[in-house]
Structure 1
Amino acid sequence: MSSILTNNGAMVALQTLKSINKDLAQTQNAISTGKDIGSAKDNSAIWAISKVMESDVAGFSAVQDSLAVGESTVAVASAGAEQIVETLKEMKQLAIAGQSETADFAKIQADMTEKAEGISAIIGASQFNGVNLLATDVDGNGGTSLTVVSSLDRVGAASPTVSTIGVDTVDFEANIDAVSNLTAITDAASAATAFGELETFLTTAIDGAAALGASAKRISDQSEFVGKLNDAVKSGIGSLVDADMEAASARLQALQTQQQLGVQALSIANQAPQTILSLFR
Structure 2
Amino acid sequence: AQDGISLIQTAEGGLAETHNILARMRELAIQSANDTLNNTDRLNLEAEFTQLKAEVTRIAGATQFNGTVLLNGATASVTLQVGANNADTVTVTLTNNTVGNTTYAAASGTAGLGIGPVSVTITSLALAATTITALDAAINQVSTNRANLGAIQSRLESVGRSLAVASENTAAANSRVADADIASSMSELVRAQILQQAGISVLAQANQAPALVLQLLK
Q: Please point out which of 136, 139, 152 is paired with 2:84.
A: 152
SS in 2 for 1:152: coil
Q: How far apart are residue 162 of structure 1 and its match? A: 3.6
Between 175-184 and 193-202, report the one with greater CA deviation: 175-184
Report the equivalent of 1:18.
none
SS in 2 for 1:167: strand
C-alpha separation in 2, matches of 1:121 and 1:270:
98
* TM-score, structure 1 as length reference: 0.61
SS in 1 for 2:65: coil
Report the equivalent of 1:216.
153
Q: Is the 8 A contact 1:120 1:177 kept in 2?
A: no
C-alpha separation in 1, matches of 2:123 and 2:87:
57
Q: How far apart are residue 177 of structure 1 and its match? A: 5.7
1:1-281 correspondence to structure 2 within 5 Å = 67-103=1-37, 104-138=41-75, 144-152=76-84, 161-173=86-98, 174=104, 175-176=111-112, 178-181=114-117, 182-243=119-180, 258=194, 261-262=197-198, 264-269=200-205, 271=207, 274-275=210-211, 278=214
Q: Is the 8 A contact 2:120 2:131 kept in 1?
A: yes
C-alpha separation in 2, matches of 1:133 and 1:278:
102
Q: Is the 8 A contact 1:84 1:122 kept in 2?
A: yes
SS in 2 for 1:170: coil
Q: How far apart are residue 82 of structure 1 and its match? A: 1.9
Q: Is the 8 A contact 1:73 1:128 kept in 2?
A: yes
Q: Is the 8 A contact 1:117 1:180 kept in 2?
A: no
SS in 2 for 1:100: coil
Q: Is the 8 A contact 2:60 2:97 kept in 1?
A: yes
Q: How far apart are residue 131 of structure 1 and its match? A: 2.1
Q: Is the 8 A contact 1:185 1:191 kept in 2?
A: yes
Q: Which amino acid aligns with 1:198?
A: L
Unaligned runs of 5+ in 2: 99-103, 105-110
Q: Percent identity?
A: 21
C-alpha separation in 1, matches of 2:131 and 2:193:
94
1:266–1:129 distance in 2 versus 1, CA, 3 Å: farther
Number of equivalent positions? 201
SS in 2 for 1:242: helix
C-alpha separation in 2, matches of 1:100 and 1:202:
21
* CA deviation string 1:155-201 (max 9, x = no partner): xxxxxx54211111122243446534252222222211211111121
* CA deviation string 1:56-83 (max 9, x = no partner): xxxxxxxxxxx11111111111121122
C-alpha separation in 2, matches of 1:262 and 1:171:
84
C-alpha separation in 1, matches of 2:43 and 2:179:
76
Q: How far apart are residue 95 of structure 1 and its match? A: 0.7
Q: Which amino acid aligns with 1:265?
A: S
C-alpha separation in 2, matches of 1:93 and 1:264:
99
Q: Which amino acid aligns with 1:258?
A: I
SS in 1 for 2:80: strand
1:220–1:73 distance in 2 versus 1, CA, 3 Å: same
SS in 1 for 2:91: strand
Q: Which amino acid aligns with 1:73?
A: L
Unaligned runs of 5+ in 1: 1-66, 139-143, 154-160
Q: Which amino acid aligns with 1:86?
A: N
Q: Which amino acid aligns with 1:101?
A: D
